[in-house]
Structure 1
Amino acid sequence: MALSGGRLLGKVSVITASTDGIGFAIAKRFLKEGSKVVISSRKQQNVDSALEKLVKVADELNIPPTNLHGLVCHVGKSEDRVILVDETVKKFGGLNILVSNAAVSPAFGNIYDVDEKAFDKIMDTNVQASFLLCKEALPHLRKAGNGSILFVSSIGAYLPLPGVGAYCVSKTALLGLTKNLATEFARFGIRVNCLAPGIIKTKFSEPLTGNEAATELYMKVIPMQRFGDPDEMGGPAVFLCSDDASYVTGETLMATGGINSRL
């Protein structure tokens, strides 16, 4: 088995919430493309389990396991964000790519029934923490040159999903954050883009994908007639963070199985 293409060869990547689902799939694909990868999660046991799986992938590809590192990081905590960036730079000598994937959705139901505490948690984790992590990483991305930031948004940014309205609002905010940071960071040689997955089969999306009535409803708007697989998000993420997208910044790539969407 060989590298998928080596499009991230020599790069150092940090990916938040990357021990499962879409984040893990991106980490696995980045590893296959030659990047040194730092994964993170709020729980040490999740980090350990994901690292074990990734080491097996590395072994199959004859990639040194030293290309992998894992850290506990609650993105909503300032001290954790600092440690995540600083430890990455300390271990690998720099930082080239930041993928902000962490998100929460503690409230389910009508958006007007979401209480202030839950709404604040959603916005703090999904939007504010992403912004603050970018600020933490900025000096290192500038120093490395040709840096890349990728926010993971959602089809919910464009098409409100029943029951998770506040989450969708936070994902729409990431589109604006992408545009603004891309404009300001361009002069530093840093590209900022966004990936908006459709409905992907993960633990996070089980309330939607595991519900028969919801599945029947969504199949009416997904031309490909299926939910996405996490691994299908790895390729688009690699494209946006690699030199293949060297003239792409401030954009959102939709990976939704054909769901029609627009703001």
Structure 2
Amino acid sequence: MQFQDKVVLVTGAAGGIGAGTAAAFAREGAKVMLADIDADQGGQRVAEVEAAGGQAAFRRCDVSKSEDMRALVEETIARFGRLDILHNNAGISGGTDFTADISEDDWDRVIAINLKGVWLGLKYAIPPMLEQGGGVIVNTASALALTVLPGSAHYNATKHAVAGLTKTAATEYARHSIRINAVCPGVIRTAMLQNAPNLAELEPRLLALHPAGRLGEVEEVVNAVLWLASDGASFMHGSLMTVDGGWTAA
């Protein structure tokens, strides 16, 4: 119960990595606020946490909207009294078009959710953490914060930017006992991946990216996020922790 009585906010918590971290924090004693655009799945995740004996709540949130993110942080604090940990996780993939073929609408949407959404999380979580004397933020970046994949220019751009944002904010607030790091997953077996219509064709190409010879599992990323949020990572500021089966090391 290493997070006993800590208050944790997880964005993108209706499924995948976010749902995994929310459940894991709750198992470790935290009070968890889940946020996502998908209210039906988000409510189901809360029910699962509560059925397992944890404490959780849900708020529908579009992370690209300032008013949504401000209200989310305010409700978290009003409900649970403080905010100790933010897993700034919400993001989308954006498709596979090459750079010149990406529509302006697709470009703007990916930038708004993957980059602006992370910045808004920092913007509204940091002030209450400053007031209470510290906190922890873990951003979800990607292996594509450290390398590139053709057909993902807008996604690549956002994840490189999240890496830079993580490092900048970490250096700005380290002296205030706020630790800010990022986890950089490779390709992870989420429900979204498993339901991809072209998975049989796509999977061999994805496997070839990972020297480990397999794709990652959600719990492997969850373990990294929880460790970055724990006291065991107390001297880590601005780190980009890869959980990518050796992809970016090759």
How high is the TM-score relative to the length of structure 1? 0.89
CA contact (8 A) 2:148 2:156 kept: yes
1:80-159 superposed matches below 5 A:
80-159=68-147
Secondary structure at the aligned position of 1:260 is classed as helix
Q: Distance in 2 between matches of 1:144 and 1:255?
A: 31
1:78 corresponds in structure 2 to 66
* Aligned-partner Cα distance in 2 for 1:142–1:150: 16
CA distance in 2, matches of 1:210, 1:169: 25
Which runs of no fewer than 5 residues in structure 1 stay unpaired? 1-5
Following TM superposition, by how much is the alpha carbon of 1:71 offset from its aligned partner in structure 2, in angstroms? 0.7
- Superposed displacement of residue 68, structure 1: 0.8
Amino acid in structure 2 at the alignment position of 1:29:
A
Q: Which amino acid aligns with 1:180?
A: T
Classify the secondary structure of the residue corresponding to 2:52: helix
Q: Following the alignment from structure 1 to structure 2, what is the Cα–Cα distance between the partners of residues 125 and 215?
A: 26
Q: Is the 8 A contact 1:8 1:34 kept in 2?
A: yes
Q: 1:38 corresponds to which letter in structure 2?
A: M
Q: Structure 1's 145 and 210: CA in aligned 2 closer, same or farther, altered over 3 A?
A: farther
Which aligned pairs between 1:53-72 and structure 2 lie closer than 5 A? 53-58=48-53, 63=54, 67-72=55-60
Q: How does 1:1-263 map to 2 (within 5 A)?
A: 6-58=1-53, 63=54, 67-206=55-194, 211-261=199-249
Q: Deviations over 1:38-70 (max 9, x none)?
A: 101113212211112222232xxxx4xxx2111
One-letter code of the match for 1:92? F
In angstroms, what is the RMSD of aligned CA positions? Answer: 1.9
Are the structure 2 counterparts of residues 187 and 99 from structure 1 closer, same or farther at C-alpha, using a change threshold of 3 Å? same
- Tell me the amino acid that sits aligned with residue 240 of structure 1: L
The percent of aligned pairs where both chains have the same amino acid is 31
Give the CA deviation at 1:207.
7.8
State the distance in 1 between where 2:121 and 2:244 align: 26
Report which stretch shifted further, 192-201 or 253-262: 253-262
TM-score by length of 2: 0.93
Q: Matched residue of 1:117: which SS?
A: helix
Measure the CA separation in 2 of the matches of 1:13 and 1:27.
8
Greater shift in the superposed pair: 129-138 or 100-109: 100-109
Q: Distance in 1 between matches of 2:199 and 2:68?
A: 35
* Counterparts of 2:221 and 2:131, CA distance in 1: 28
C-alpha deviation, 1:219, in angstroms? 2.4
Change in 2 beyond 3 A, CA 1:206/1:171: farther
